[in-house]
Chain A
Amino acid sequence: MTSQHTGEMPAISYNFAYLDEQTKRMIRRAILKAIAIPGYQVPFAAREMPMPYGWGTGGVQVTAAVLGPDDVLKVIDQGADDTTNAVAIRGFFEKTAGVATTTATTEATLIQTRHRIPETKLSENQILVYQVPIPEPLRFLEPRETETRQLHALEEYGLMHVKLYEDIARHGHIATTYAYPVEVAGRYVMDPSPIPKFDNPKMDDCPALQLFGAGREKRIYAIPPYTTVRSLDFEDHPFKVQRFAKPCALCAATGVYLDEVILDDRGGRMFVCSDTDYCNARQAEGHRGEMAAPVSSSGGAVLPHPTPLPHGEREQGDAPSLTLTARGAPEGAGEGPFGAEIAS
């Protein structure tokens, strides 16, 4: 519901998309420089937003600065449109900007996301806004901001390679499965936010514009359309994405990212698409996985997407309160009964 259509004066009147015009201009200038210098983190004077940092205030500020009255907004959290975080942010922009919203990836002009890239291929007229908790890929290796700025300036990324190589020495493969660092347009090493590395290849040569906002650390960065994005790796240990042993139990999709769903207290479980819009669309087209209801003669109602149980996701500085409702996703390589990563 939007305040525009109620026919009553709203109780509080907002600036369009909440932010004042001066703040939008400042963020817009940062976005333009971020696009001109792919992968470089532009500092900006982040504003307090009416939600805690872990709720993606950086992404929300980027969206607020970009959004126009003709946009169609989709908000996803871990691939789902119906989690608390996604519903809250979508409601925020419905209320403050009165924009149309959708859950369909293909209908959206602007998609704000936390932790996933949609399975449906994005198009040239779309903008993907990522919520970023920690923008600096070198932060865990070098805590001093002045030092990391120097390292980026000198294109000195040896530390990052050492860290990945230590993984190989310890585990026999690169154990990083989330926020897997990438090199953008052959220059800056960038943190893609805590998306599974499964999604990294989708950033490469993507027709859509990708914008990243970190509220707490006050950084904006970008990947223009059709830009080379390479996941860091080694010649003898090439980058590999997670693979899942079985197709989605509801829509039979393969080559997509799956979540585990606990079915009962006797250890029953199934694996379903993390991207609920993708899964629902496939079911509507008649695709049926092994746990899906049989197709009815009337063309088949879409099976309601089950909510997976949370399972203690590492939050990487994001709001711990969100774990209560966040859809879970596998954390470590080969952890538990999840689709095993194909090790070389």
Chain B
Amino acid sequence: MQTQELARGFVDPVFAAQGVFRAAMWALSRPGRPQELATDLIPPAPLSPEAAALALALCDYETPVFLDAALAAERAVGDFLRFHTGAPIVAEPGQARFAFISNPLNMLEFSEFSQGIPEFPDASVTLILQVASFVDHGFTLEGPGIKGRLGFGAAPLPEHFAARMAANRTLFPRGIDLLLAGAGQVAGLPRSVAVKEG
């Protein structure tokens, strides 16, 4: 196998990071409303450009990163993230502050990840799930950031997704937060959101 050249990072790191952060900020402020996330990154597969952009904007040496099996299997993915963010890649999901999931269908249980402690519920993971598409139905969302109710769906999602999110909601203020990275978009499902089937 040939030595691959390391894929480049943001062309304009300051403004790219700011723009990606703002997309993530509005995504978590408006649960279930996909926000535009434009990026020119070409990361090694199966890491998606949008997930890579979130990593470069939010991760650094202070944030241990967990990769799911498909991402961890590609050495270039870990090299790319380590080089551009300085984040340590950890094998133990419970140690991660960010976890990148390229294959949500068979992802770990939420309880495998750090959910914070009662005095510091913020000391919890943010899961970044790579999805292919968003729709406005399948689940009904309620909670802070949502005026009334909102229909939302994405694919692929882990099975028993509503039950997982309901269990996560019962832990509040502990819990995990989700950013769903789709093509040119990011949607947020913070722990505060109530997700129901239908």
Contacts and interface: CB of A to CB of B under 8 A. Distances in A.
B29 A35 contact: yes
A79 interface: no
A16 B14 contact: yes
A182 interface: no
B114 interface: no
Interface residues of A, number: 43
A225 B58 CA distance: 22
A66 B15 contact: no
Given A21-B17, A25-B58, A38 B22 contact: no
B29 A40 contact: no
A66 B177 contact: no
A201 interface: no
Interface string A48-67: 00000000000000000111
A153 B122 CA distance: 12
B119 A32 contact: no
B28 A187 contact: no
B60 A22 contact: yes
Interface residues of B, number: 39
Contact of B177 (A31, A32, A187): A32
Given A32-B24, A225-B30, A226-B144, A68 B19 contact: yes
A10 to B, nearest CB: 16
**Which of B24, B25, B59, B146 gathers the greatest number of chain A CB atoms within 10 Å?**
B25
A15 B116 CA distance: 33
A190 to B, nearest CB: 13
A185 B25 contact: no
Interface string A187-217: 1100000000000000001010100000000
B102 interface: no
Contact of A68 (B18, B30, B144, B192): B18
B15 A224 contact: no
Interface string B129-156: 0000000000000011111000000000
A290 B22 CA distance: 45
A153 B119 contact: yes
B85 to A, nearest CB: 9
A32 B28 contact: yes
B17 A36 contact: no
A15 B97 CA distance: 27
A305 interface: no
A132 interface: no
A227 B143 CA distance: 8
Nearest to A29: B58
B2 to A, nearest CB: 33
Given A225-B29, A225-B145, A36 B190 contact: yes
B121 A226 contact: no
Given A32-B126, A35-B190, A37-B122, A227 B60 contact: no
Contacts of B21: 24, 28, 65-66
A228 B145 CA distance: 10
Contacts of B124: 33
A150 interface: yes
A48 B138 CA distance: 47
A31 B145 contact: no
A226 B119 CA distance: 26
Nearest to B56: A25
A161 interface: no
A26 interface: yes
A71 to B, nearest CB: 9
Interface in A125-180: 149-150, 152-154
Interface of A: 15-16, 21-22, 24-26, 28-38, 40, 42-43, 65-69, 149-150, 152-154, 185, 187-188, 205, 207, 209, 223-228
24 contacts: A16-B18, A25-B17, A25-B59, A28-B21, A28-B58, A29-B58, A30-B122, A33-B122, A35-B25, A35-B28, A35-B190, A36-B28, A36-B191, A68-B15, A149-B120, A187-B173, A207-B147, A209-B26, A224-B28, A225-B29, A226-B145, A226-B146, A226-B147, A227-B145
Top 5 A-B residue pairs of the complex, sorted by shortest distance between their CB atoms: A36-B190, A153-B118, A224-B145, A33-B122, A227-B144
Given A24-B17, A35-B29, A37-B192, 15 more contacts: A16-B15, A16-B18, A24-B21, A32-B58, A32-B177, A33-B177, A35-B145, A36-B28, A36-B192, A65-B21, A153-B118, A187-B172, A209-B29, A224-B145, A225-B145
